Amino acid sequence: MESPILSRSFVISNGRCGSTLLSDLIAEQRDTLSVQEFFMSVPPGAKTDDTISGAEYWAMLSSPKPELTTLVRIGLAPKEMRYPENGRWAGNLEQLPRILAITLSKISSDPDGLFDLLAEQVPDFPQQSVGAHHQMFLDLLTRLTGKKRWVERSGGSSHVAPYVLRAFPTARVVHLTRNWQDSAVSMSKHPSFQLIQLRVEFLRVAGFDPFRRKPEHVVPAELERFLPERLTAEALRERSQQMSRYLALCAFLEHQAEQALVDVPPQHLLEMSYEDLLEEPVEQLGRLGQFLEFEDWQDWANRVAGRVRAPSSTSRVPAPA
């Protein structure tokens, strides 16, 4: 008989606000699987919210992610990618399965081996909704790694908060925030968020996502050089000089999270801020450990709190009027 999953949790944040640090600290709790960047690598609703087969679901997980492929092509692979240099796809990262790029590579020292185990079982999942597939997959991953609970964390997950809260009504939800000024500076230096901001700009100006372009979509002349097949590292970096773009991105993402929390209030919610974590790491991690139902929450908090460090320097931008 399979052991029950003790709890399922999510960290929702705008990104660049300490969520990766939380994931790394959570990974130090012996019974907890810290799942990183799952929902940012896999579209949470897939093609639709209709039911799909296990084989269709696995085909999605094992396919390349176009956004990541573009960043690899232009030489801006994000540092969160931990796929090993001797891995099966090391010589062809543009075809790297999306689930291997970060999620499995952060969990296992042999991500290809874990990928193969999943490839044997996931296609046999029953016909069900994408949300049910996600839960079954994360539960399976938890059991395969010998853990008892899972905590998923994706940078920029505010964007998928409406879906996650609807699909996982009993999950425990941590809402992590950081002041927009520092988040915006950090986003402007990170290729994944540079690309996210570009996609939001396309939606605002042209009405479509450049990675979901259809033949009938008309591309404004000023955006043609930013299409995925034409994009260069220089063009992406050039856009990052305008900080107002990233302040607007923070506002957009935070609105999505806050509205989702109002529309679909979670049964279990913990509000945290990055600033409080820096100021009182033991206390804040203790709150987090208790909320996530760690049996050893106090010992865990005391043990990992020393890894909480303020950034060495942060270039602040003026607060918006």
> How deeply is 26 buried, as exposed, middle or buried, from its count of CB atoms within 10 A (0-12, 13-18, 19+)?
buried
Residues 136 and 105 in one domain: yes
Residues 167 and 58 in one domain: yes
Residues 81 and 218 in one domain: no
Boundary (domain end) residue, out of 198, 217, 239:
239
Residues 55 and 120 in one domain: yes
Contacts 24+ apart (CB under 8 A), 66-71: 66/211, 66/228, 67/192, 67/195, 67/199, 67/211, 67/228, 68/41, 68/96, 68/98, 68/101, 69/94, 69/95, 70/195, 70/211, 70/228, 70/231, 71/191, 71/192, 71/195
Residue 93 structural domain = 8-181+271-307
Is residue 45 a contact partner of residue 312, using CB atoms and an 8 Å limit? Answer: no
Residues 44 and 90 in one domain: yes
Decide: pTM greater than 0.75.
Answer: yes
Phi-psi region of 107 (alpha: psi -120 to 50; beta: other; left: phi over 0): alpha
Structural domain includes residue 152: yes
Phi-psi region of 264 (alpha: psi -120 to 50; beta: other; left: phi over 0): beta
Is residue 22 a contact partner of residue 164, using CB atoms and an 8 Å limit? Answer: no
Is residue 22 a contact partner of residue 176, using CB atoms and an 8 Å limit? Answer: yes
Instruction: Name the domain count of the chain.
Output: 2
Residues 27 and 166 in one domain: yes
Q: Which residues pair with 150 in a beta bridge?
A: 8, 33
What is the three-class DSSP state of 75?
Answer: coil
Residues 232 and 276 in one domain: no
Distance CA 29, CA 112 (A): 24
Structural domain includes residue 244: no
Structural domain includes residue 254: no
Structural domain includes residue 80: yes
Give the pairing type, strands 172-177 and 8-12: parallel
Give pLDDT tens digits along the chain (321 positions): 577 899 999 999 999 999 999 999 999 999 999 999 999 888 766 554 678 999 999 999 999 999 999 999 999 999 999 999 999 999 999 999 999 999 999 999 999 999 999 999 999 999 999 999 999 999 999 999 999 999 999 999 998 999 999 999 999 999 999 999 999 999 999 999 999 999 999 999 999 999 999 999 999 999 999 999 999 999 999 988 899 999 999 999 999 999 999 999 999 999 999 999 999 999 999 999 999 999 999 999 999 999 999 876 544 444 333
Give the count of alpha carbons within 13 A of 318, CB side only.
4
Structural domain includes residue 253: no
Residues 46 and 168 in one domain: yes
Distance CA 158, CA 248 (A): 14
Residues 105 and 200 in one domain: no
